[in-house]
Amino acid sequence: MKQAHSWILFFLCLLCAGLASCIRNTPRYHIGISQCSDDEWRRQMNSEIIREARFYDDVQVEIRTAKDDNVRQEADIRHFINEGVDLLVVAPNEAQSITPIVEEAYNKGIPVILVDRKISSDRYTAYIGADNHAIGREVAAYIGNLLQGNGSVVEITGLAGSTPAIERHESFLKGMAAYPGIRLLATSEGAWLRRQASEKMEALLDSFPHIDVVFAQNDRMASGAYEAALRKQRARQMSFVGIDALSGEHYGLEDILAGRLTASFIYPTGGDRVVQIAMDILQGKTFPRETILGTSVVDSTNAPVMKMQTAHISTLDGKIELLNGEINRSLVRYATQQTILYGSLAALLLLVGMLVAVYLSLRAKNRMNRELSLQKELLIEQKDLLIEQKSQLETQKSQLEQLSHELEEATHAKLVFFTNISHDFRTPLTLIADPIEQLLANPVFDGQPRQLLLLMKKNVHILLRLVNQILDFRKVENGRMELRLEPFDLLDSFRNWNDSFCMALLKKHITFSFEAPSDMDFRMQADAEKMECIYFNLFSNALKYTPENGKITICLAVVAENYVLSVFNSGSYISSADVEAIFQRFYQVSGHQA
Chain residues in the site for ligand FRU (CB under 6 A): 37, 39, 41-42, 116-117, 158, 162, 164, 192, 218, 220, 243-244, 267
Q: Which is nearer to ligand FRU, 153 or 222 (CB)?
A: 222
Quote the distance between the C-alpha of residue 434 and its chain's center. 102
Q: What is the CA radius of gyration of the chain?
A: 65
CB of 87 to ligand FRU, least distance (A): 21
Instruction: Say whether 487 sits in a helix, a strand or coil.
Output: strand
Q: Which residues pair with 270 in a beta bridge?
A: none
Q: Where are the alpha helices (DSSP H) in 479-547?
A: 490-498, 502-507, 528-545
* Position of minimal CB gap to ligand FRU: 218
- Among 116, 112, 59, smallest CA distance to 93 is for 116
Q: Output the smallest distance, CB 148 to ligand FRU, in A.
A: 28
Cβ(137)–Cβ(172) below 8 Å: yes
Report the residue number, 137 or 220, with the smaller CB distance to ligand FRU.
220
- Complex with ligand FRU: residue 8 or 191, whichever CB lies closer: 191
Closest to ligand FRU by CB, 115 or 282: 115
Distances (CA, A) of 283 to 29, 59, 126: 10, 11, 15
* Cβ closest to ligand FRU, residue 49 vs residue 282: 49
Q: Which CB sits closer to ligand FRU, 35 or 500?
A: 35
Give 165-180 as a 3 state SS string: HHHHHHHHHHHHCCCC
3-class DSSP string for 286-315: CCCCEEEECCCEEECCCHHHHHHHHHHHHH
How many CA atoms lie less than 13 Å away from 167 in the CB half-sphere?
Answer: 18
Do the beta carbons of residue 490 and residue 521 sit within 8 Å? no
> Shortest distance, CB of residue 286 to ligand FRU, whole angstroms?
27
In the bound state with ligand FRU, the residue whose beta carbon lies nearer, of 214 and 429, is 214
> Which of 175/224 has CB closer to ligand FRU?
224
Secondary structure letter of residue 37 according to DSSP: -
DSSP 8-state secondary structure symbol assigned to residue 500 = G
Return the closest-CA partner of residue 111 out of 90, 128, 88.
88
Measured on CA atoms in the order 383, 384, 385, 386, is the torsion positive or negative?
A: positive
Nearer to ligand FRU, 59 or 102 (CB): 102
Closest distance of CB 319 from ligand FRU, Å: 27
- By C-beta, is 226 or 267 nearer to ligand FRU? 267
Cβ proximity to ligand FRU, 215 vs 512, nearer residue: 215
Nearest residue (CB) to ligand FRU, 140 versus 243: 243
Please, what is the minimum distance in Å from the beta carbon of residue 342 to ligand FRU? 46
**CA-to-CA distance for 229 and 257, rounded, in angstroms?**
18
CB of 217 to ligand FRU, least distance (A): 7
Closest distance between ligand FRU and the C-beta of residue 72, in Å?
15
Cβ at position 172, least distance to ligand FRU in Å: 14
**Quick one: 93 or 239, whose CB is closer to ligand FRU?**
93
C-beta closer to ligand FRU: residue 191 or 460: 191
Strand order in the sheet with 263-266: 182-189, 151-157, 213-216, 239-244, 263-266, 297-299
Closest CA to 445 of 456, 431, 430: 456
Smallest distance from the beta carbon of 243 to ligand FRU, in angstroms?
5
CB of residue 332 to ligand FRU, shortest distance in Å = 35
Round to whole Å and give the CA distance between 428 and 423: 9
Task: Measure CA of the first residue to CA of the last residue in the chain; give whole Å.
Answer: 65
**Residue 476, phi then psi, degrees to nearest 5:** -60, -45
Q: DSSP letters along 53-119, please?
A: HTT-TTEEEEEEE-TT-HHHHHHHHHHHHHHT-SEEEE--SSHHHHHHHHHHHHHTT--EEEESS--
Question: Could you tell me the CA-to-CA distances from 327 to 55, 319, 330 in Å, in that order?
Answer: 11, 12, 5
The H or E element spanning position 241 is strand 239-244
Q: Min. distance of Cβ 170 from ligand FRU in angstroms?
A: 15
Nearest by Cα to 288 from 440, 471, 125: 125
3-state secondary structure 432-476: HHHHHHHHHHCCCCCCHHHHHHHHHHHHHHHHHHHHHHHHHHHHH
Q: How far apart are CA 383 and CA 206, in angstroms?
A: 128
